[in-house]
């Protein structure tokens, strides 16, 4: 599939925490090769491991040379597509990762800034999703596990790459998974994939983000 289209690198994770699939990878791979907003989607799977996720991510960045990078991860307990606003410079793992590592209160990047904001047009993405009938929200925390780790490292690397925009989206469990987690919300894979396609198209075709209130009062 040789193409001169600019590329969107879309990452998903392998299963973790006793699950046998990870909806983030199922959705990412469903979009692999698609043309969205004048960009070609290239999907890659990252391991749910603090150390190796970044090795695989950096190799994918070098190989794909994307204009846009969007990480996707499973967030059990969330009920909507959750567009992350910020990634913070700390790992604090409640459970060990798939390699058995459990970092507690260590920086993702020693000496790095406390946080990075997403450089995606998150409000435009949110409004487009809502207009298309896909439940979505802006989230102000990506947690402190492997997803935040990847989101932070991604922002740190792309901050030095002119014109490359990056961010992260958490997604709910699939109905199949939620069967085993009473009270956990879920979203069908088709809906997640449709939503991500909309989010990617907007990210690819929006320069300056729109101004729309989507904050929270705690
Ligand atoms: N979700 C985890 C890591 C991998 C994934 O899909 C997280 O939210 O950190």
Sequential pLDDT tens for the chain (218 residues): 555 899 999 999 999 999 999 999 999 999 999 999 999 999 999 999 999 999 999 999 999 999 999 999 999 999 999 999 999 999 999 999 999 999 999 999 999 999 999 999 999 999 999 999 999 999 999 999 999 999 999 999 999 999 999 999 999 999 999 999 999 999 999 999 999 999 999 999 999 999 999 999 98
pLDDT at 2: 54
Closest approach atom of ligand 1 to CA 13: 6
Pairing of strands 86-88, 68-74: unpaired
pLDDT in tens, 201-212: 999 999 999 999
Q: Using CA atoms, how far apart are residues 59 and 120, in angstroms rounded to an integer?
A: 22
**Cα–Cα distance between 39 and 8 in angstroms, integer?**
6
Of 25, 92, 145, best ligand 1 pocket probe by most atoms within 8 Å of the beta carbon: 145
Determine the distance separating the centroid of ligand 1 and the alpha carbon of 75, expressed in angstroms.
6
Q: Is the CB of 12 under 6 A from ligand 1?
A: no
Q: Is the CB of 47 under 6 A from ligand 1?
A: no
Phi-psi region of 188 (alpha: psi -120 to 50; beta: other; left: phi over 0): beta
Q: Phi first, then psi: what are they for 169, rounded to 5°?
A: -130, 125
Distance 117 CA to ligand 1 centre (A): 18
pLDDT at 218: 85
Is-contact 36 115, C-beta < 8 A? no
Three-state SS at 138: strand
Query: 7-205 maps to which CATH number?
Result: 3.40.630.20
Each domain of the chain, given as residue ranges in start order, spans 7-205
Q: What is the pLDDT of residue 28?
A: 99
What are the pLDDT digits (tens) for 23-50? 999 999 999 999 999 999 999 999 999 9
Which residues, including other chains, have CB under 8 Å from residue 152's CB and lie 6 or more apart? 87, 88, 89, 108, 109, 112, 115, 116
Measured distance CA(218)–CA(216) in Å, rounded: 6
């Amino acid at each position: 599939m040789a193409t001169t289209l600019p590329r969107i690198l879309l990452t998903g994770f392998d299963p973790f925490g006793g699950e046998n699939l990870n909806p983030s990878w199922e959705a990412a791979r469903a979009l692999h090769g698609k043309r969205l907003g004048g960009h070609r989607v290239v999907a890659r799977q990252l391991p749910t491991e603090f150390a190796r996720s970044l090795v695989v991510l950096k190799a994918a960045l070098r190989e794909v040379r994307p204009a846009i990078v969007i990480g996707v991860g499973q967030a059990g307990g969330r009920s909507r597509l959750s567009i992350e606003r910020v990634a913070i410079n700390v790992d604090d793992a409640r459970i060990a990762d798939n390699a058995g590592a459990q970092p507690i209160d260590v920086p993702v990047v020693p000496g790095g800034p406390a946080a990075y904001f997403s450089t995606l047009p998150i409000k435009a993405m949110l409004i487009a999703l809502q207009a298309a009938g896909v439940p979505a929200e802006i989230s102000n925390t990506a947690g402190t596990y492997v997803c935040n780790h990847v989101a932070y490292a991604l922002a740190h690397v792309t901050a030095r790459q002119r014109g490359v925009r990056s961010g992260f989206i958490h997604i709910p469990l699939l109905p199949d998974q939620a069967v085993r987690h009473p009270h956990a919300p879920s979203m069908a894979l088709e809906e997640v994939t449709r939503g991500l396609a909309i989010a990617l198209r907007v990210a690819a075709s929006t320069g300056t983000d729109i101004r729309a209130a989507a904050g929270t009062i705690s």
